[in-house]
Amino acid sequence: MTSDEKWFTEKCDDSGSSFSLKVTQKLHEEQSAYQHIEVYATEHFGHLLVLDGYIMLTALDNFIYHEMMTHPVLFTHPDPRRVLIIGGGDCGCLHEVLKHPGVTQADQVDIDERVTRVAEEYFPELCVSNDDARAALHFVDGIKWVEDAAPGYYDVIIIDSTDPIGQAARLFSQEFYASCRRALGENGLLVAQSESPLLHRELIEAMQDRMVSAGFAEVTTCYFPQPTYPSGWWTATMACNDRALPGFRAQDAVDRGFTTRYYNEQIHRAAFAIPEFMNVSLDLPVD
């Protein structure tokens, strides 16, 4: 945070850009066993969570990311019941997953328990489902969790990871995707956050290639705005275990019976439209 005017600034060196939020005070700071955790009060974006100097979420705009990491994949799987979330210690994805009444089990696996405890204090709106009987919080290595999972156990795996830096880089590897594929059942779907299409196109293409090389039958990417992430434009990449992607359950999305702030049936369809500059030939089938 700059000291003169109380701005928190995240610098994105690879793109020669930065993003700043005006803060009113620092609410929390600690060094966990795994990362440096900070929480700020901002002037317009509500509370801000920062890990190792990188913006993870704000109270104002996190709903876009959390809804787009969960509802598109859950409304694409024909009957999602067992869901695994790798990462996601802020619990925002867990909350969205558990809005689906058909989900019977949601395992959230994040190695750093302190992120969840900090979120419970400063982002309680994201943690309201933590005590749901279907939810289980596990503070262990997500890669080992997937490796140890029973073959075909999960219907959906959501990779809500940080940027591919340090230990998190392992969550973007072909070997990890192969472990995820083994842990997914028939019609199983994997979705992983895949960074900015403007700044990280090569990473998105590499993720798609690695998923295909790991044995996934079809891969596609969806696009959505995320104002507080580099470039303001973000993606999630989805892969189907053993056959072409199932059709989007559009009517179920229309009749979803729960509240969303960004996601709806039209957003779902639009999010999988491929920008011309992306050299990608795969798209999401729609009914």
Which pair of tokens denotes residue 22? 């005006």
Backbone φ and ψ for 14, nearest 5 degrees, come out as -70, -20
- Selecting among 160, 163, 209, 252, the annotated active-site residue is 160
Beta strands in the chain (DSSP E): 7-12, 17-31, 36-42, 47-51, 54-58, 82-87, 105-109, 135-138, 154-160, 184-193, 218-225, 233-240
Residue 102, token pair as written in the block: 């058909």
201-213 vs 174-183: helix axis angle to the nearest 10? 50
In the annotation, is 160 catalytic?
yes
CA distance 70 to 263: 10
Strand 47-51 and strand 54-58: pairing? antiparallel
Rounded Cα–Cα distance for residues 95 and 175 (Å): 28
d(CA 47, CA 263): 22
Nearest CA to 51 among 180, 135, 168, 142? 168
Tokens of 188: 């199983």
Do 146 and 74 contact (CB within 8 A), yes or no?
A: no
Catalytic residues: 160
